[in-house]
Copies of this chain bind each other. A is one copy, B any other.
Amino acid sequence: MELELQLAVERLHAQYAHALDADQLEDWPNFFTENGRYRIATAENEERGLPLPVLYCEGRGMMRDRIQSLRHANIYEPQRYRHIVSAVLVEKISAREARSSANFLVIRIMQDGATVVFASGRFVDRIALPEMKYDERVVICDSRRFDTLLAIPL
């Protein structure tokens, strides 16, 4: 049972990563429960208890709006992302909820081929069971330095 939950959570994280890396942003809200929350924060602000997320969405509707805005305001240089997810810890809280903490690395590839480490940090998640959707996903970035491209979900 525990093994199954571990692998199911890793599979969820993997599908999420592949969707974003394939630029299937319209699928992104579907990884969350109807009222799911998504937040990007910096490690520094999290530790200080400062409620200053870089990005905050509550509910799939708000997420869909976000993606639509992104698509219309597509003024960015074309680019690709590649997510590496590692060290996935899973804990079953109840029949309805699991929690997970995982390390991530996001690589950004610009159109000219230049490849850089774009972001690193932790995914801290509450996962609804048995639906296997994020009830909350907090992306805690190690670096305090962000450029505007962070408007794209990590």
Contacts and interface: CB of A to CB of B under 8 A. Distances in A.
Nearest to A145: B113
B84 A84 contact: yes
Copies of the protein in its oligomer = 3
A144 interface: yes
B115 A120 contact: yes
A17 B144 contact: no
Interface string A6-23: 110001011101100100
Contact of A105 (B6, B107, B119): B107
Contact of A103 (B3, B6, B84, B115): B84
Nearest to A102: B14
Contacts of A145: 112-114
Contacts of A67: none
Range, interface on chain A: 35 or more
Given A103-B21, A142-B80, A87 B85 contact: yes
Contacts of A21: 103, 122
Contacts of A7: 3, 6
Interface of A: 3-4, 6-7, 11, 13-15, 17-18, 21, 43, 80, 82-89, 101, 103, 105, 107, 109, 112-117, 119-122, 142-145
Given A21-B103, A84-B84, A113-B144, 4 more contacts: A6-B7, A21-B122, A82-B121, A109-B143
